[in-house]
Amino acid sequence: MSVIEKLNSIQNKEMTAKENVENFIKVIDEKNEELNIFLEVNTESALKQAEAIDKKIANGEKVGFLSGLVFGIKANINVEDYIISAASKTLDNYFGSYNATVIDKILAEDGIILGITNMDEFAAGSSTETSCFGPTQNPAAPGRIPGGSSGGSAAAVAAEMCDIALGSDTGGSIRNPASHCGVVGFKPTYGAVSRQGLLDLSMSLDQIGPLANDTSGIALALNAISDYDETECTTLKGERSDFTSVLEEKSLEGMKIAVCKEFIDVTDAEINVAVNKAIHKLVEAGAELVEVSFDHIDLCLPTYYLINYVEFFSATRKYDGRDYGYRIENVCGEEVLRRIEIGSYISQKEYSGKFYKKALQARSLIRDEINAMLENVDLIVGPTVPKLPHKIGDELTPMEMYAYDVLTVIANLAGIPAGSIKAGEVDGIPVGLQIQAKPLDDLKIIKAMSVFENEN
């Protein structure tokens, strides 16, 4: 059943929240040792939450709109009394002392927090191989990476270990693993969801978002976590959408969608075949298809990584081993150290103007062009990731690893919403269809993904 069907089943007393939790715990007990998805599970706490929800339902009391749904949380989002390590030895003894805003919002709507999922160390990676706890297996493509950095969250959903998972997306870290694991992932408009309680990778790019096996799970999660937060300076004021309002849609009449030749050109041919079939389904549902061009695709990766390096270096200065954890440079992995060292170099006064300021100028150029592309269309559609996930243990150069992100970093640089939904498979391996929209047009993406599912 879909996530919203399960929610209705719990609220209608056809199943209990406790049964929902117990079913997931059984799967975790059977599969987690092999797949290495959850780093920590608090069975006792989850069952207590479930029992309290079941009691309210039995007594006819009002319950939240997530009542009994089970969440996995990426290891860089603060949850009180859980180890929030960001999959790094730097913080492997750090217990969250408070809840991130998104966690409080989930709990307020009677969502259940089951545990903490694996990830690339400090979100620095695209494969979940840089975790100090070891790599996560891809349940949808055994032996291959699940993508990253939110690979544990995507794999938890794909392995049916939770209803919904939260990840963070700095340059594709929700959408990339959603594509590789064959699930749905969503990066909201920058500022639509509070970042309070998220361990920074790059503060001007980071965004928290959900993953689920269907669009209804994404919509329910967004209804809970999308809101203004007076404690977090990047969040946006304004009226919020009801993302569940479009879940029954079956038509895209009046909607104009665009494909971009440059996105197709950098993507492997077999992935384009699967993605084109998915796009054709959107056209069959009534969307008008047009073509747009993007002249600055070669600028995207260097611009993204230069900004990432500098902001990550700044963010890691608090990990000096004095107040908590260990000094990051003494215990971190190779990729994290690479980013710190390059960020330190670029941050020096004599190089800032040469690199970082130039990257900010390039970012403005990219943002302006993306906004111009979206001016006369509702959505841009195309592949999420340009190549298939490699086998765990394969040695890739940094540039080969970074190449996974070429199509996803654009949304982060521009601050626009973007989602990934399973387009099909290549040799049994899932590939994703990425859908992007104007800032604050998140609902249009949810509508398109709902129509795509309802057409299948």
The DSSP secondary structure of 337-387, one letter per residue, reads HHHHHHHHHHHSHHHHTTTHHHHHHHHHHHHHHHHHHHTT-SEEEEESSSS
**With bands split at pLDDT 50, 70 and 90, how would you rate the model's confidence at 351?**
confident
Closest CA to 9 of 57, 72, 49: 57
The DSSP secondary structure of 270-286, one letter per residue, reads HHHHHHHHHHHHHHHTT
For the entire predicted model, the pTM comes to 0.97
Instruction: Give the Cα separation of 236 and 298 in Å (integer).
Output: 31
pLDDT tens digit string along 120-167?
A: 999 999 999 999 999 999 999 999 999 999 999 999 999 999 999 999
Instruction: Give the Cα separation of 452 and 456 in Å (integer).
Output: 7
**Max CA pair span of the chain:** 67
Residues recorded for the chain: 456
SS3 readout for 132-187: CCCCCCCCCCCCECCCCCCHHHHHHHHCCCCCEEEEECCCCCCHHHHHHHCCEEEE
Which residues have a catalytic role annotated? 74, 149, 173
So what's the pLDDT on residue 149?
A: 98
Residue 247: count other Cβ atoms within 10 Å of its Cβ: 21
Instruction: Give the Cα separation of 452 and 431 in Å (integer).
Output: 15
May I ask the CATH class of domain 3-455? alpha beta
So what's the pLDDT on residue 455?
A: 83
Decide: residue 348, CB within 10 A, 0-12 exposed, 13-18 middle, 19+ buried: exposed
pLDDT of 227 > 80? The answer is yes
Cβ 107 vs Cβ 99: under 8 Å? yes
Per-residue tokens: 205: 């790019």
Per-residue tokens: 304: 């993204």
Domain boundaries, the chain: 3-455
pLDDT tens digit string along 246-263?
A: 999 999 999 999 999 999
pLDDT of 353 > 90? The answer is no
Cβ 134 vs Cβ 116: under 8 Å? no
**Single-letter amino acid, residue 270:** E
